[in-house]
Amino acid sequence: MTRSILPDYSVTASFATENAEDSSDDDLDSLPQAFPSVPDGPLSGACVTGSALSGGADVSKPLSATLPDSLAGERLDKALAQCFPEYSRSRLQAWVEDGRVMLDGEPAKVRQKVAGGEVVLITPAALPEQLAFAPEPVPLDAIYEDATLAVFNKPVGLVVHPAAGNWSGTLLNGLLHRYGQAAADLPRAGIVHRLDKETSGLMVVARTLIAQTDLVRQLQARTVKRHYAALVWGRPPLRTVVDAPIGRDPRERTRMAVVPGQGGKPARTRVVTVASAEWDGSPVSLVLCSLDTGRTHQIRVHLSHIGHSLLGDPLYKPRHKRPALPGDFARQALHAWRLGLRHPEDDRSMHWQAPMPDDMRDLMTALGLEFDFSTLPDSLDDFFPA
């Protein structure tokens, strides 16, 4: 039977927290490092007299309490919040409304008054984060697969790893379903880097612990080659290198920014402009990017920093107003189109390409941007500026 949680993450812990070279869009040090759980031991509410959940307990195990006389006259939801402070009042209200709370053997109501002395019995529902690391039949587009690794073409909208707001339906859930116990036994089910939710394209996933360790080391050594296609405002230089440290934006904590000094981590992006056109009086371009590092939102931040924000990017918008895009395109126009690495098993050089997704291809056509990717050489070492 496949386990629904992942084991220890120690294989990639030091890499993720010290080097942070493992991500093309987001650093893995921002990922949860362990399976979330409620606190161990009995609940601290003074009126709890029965069983309580612990970190590894069955979520269906009932919680019980006898309401003290001091709560007489209080609404039930307020009384429950005092007895079970480990749970939010809104969660307790939801359990009442779902029929999971009994008061002296009768279904409880949120707004009913308590007299004191009643026995409360709650059958908790599992928290979303407690179900996060479970197998789910998430559709995955595998473009290469062997016993050591797999390469997937991630669609727009697919989250890589469970986190707040996205506890299910992620790439990790799909890997647990696809590979079963073998994936459950690996840190993060074999994930070694990740892409932002609204970025499409290629990702490599390890299928063995040895392969995962090797791929992490390759990411550190920069022998994993990650190349992106992006649609941007303006006409960037034909060939340029953006070498600027990235850190949390001090003025807006939900964003990243170029941060000079010790506030940022080294970040380097190589950029080549391959096509340009005009849209409603504004220049637009197709650029190809090669990552030497993998900071959070690196390409988006670097291109915005040099005045060429990605089309459709809701977070790193242009400094000046731009015309609306055709078809109401509303996500960052970024695609991880090519991935190269040394195979962990025999050290042979391998690379893969994923065609532009339909929405970006349609946008290019509407904008009048044309480029034949097949004209690029097999080796891109000399294509990008040093």
**CA distance linking residue 143 with residue 153, whole number of Å:** 7
Mean pLDDT of all residues in 54-68: 68
The pLDDT assigned to 348 comes to: 96
pLDDT recorded at residue 60 = 53
pLDDT at 36 > cutoff 80: no
Determine which one of 196, 280, 313, 372 is catalytic: 196
Contacts of 265 (CB under 8 A, 6+ apart): 20, 245, 246, 247, 293, 295
Query: Residues near 208 by Cβ (< 8 Å), separated by ≥ 6?
Result: 147, 148, 182, 186, 344
Q: What digits encode the pLDDT tens for the residues 94-123?
A: 999 999 999 999 999 989 999 999 999 999
Identify the pLDDT of residue 157. Answer: 96
Check whether 30 has a pLDDT greater than 60. Answer: no
| Residues 12-29, mean pLDDT to the nearest whole number | 35
Predicted confidence (pLDDT) per residue in 146-168, tens digit: 999 999 999 999 999 998 889 99
Q: Is the pTM of this model over 0.95?
A: no
Which of these, 208, 281, 293, 197, lies nearest to 242 by C-alpha position?
293
Measured CA to CA, the distance from residue 42 to residue 99 in angstroms comes to: 23
104 is catalytic: no
What pLDDT digit, counting tens, does each position of 229-244 carry? 999 999 999 999 999 9
pLDDT at position 253 is: 86
d(C-alpha 188, C-alpha 178), whole Å: 14
DSSP-assigned letter for residue 351: E
| DSSP H or E stretch at residue 359 | helix 358-367
Provide the pLDDT for residue 212.
Answer: 96
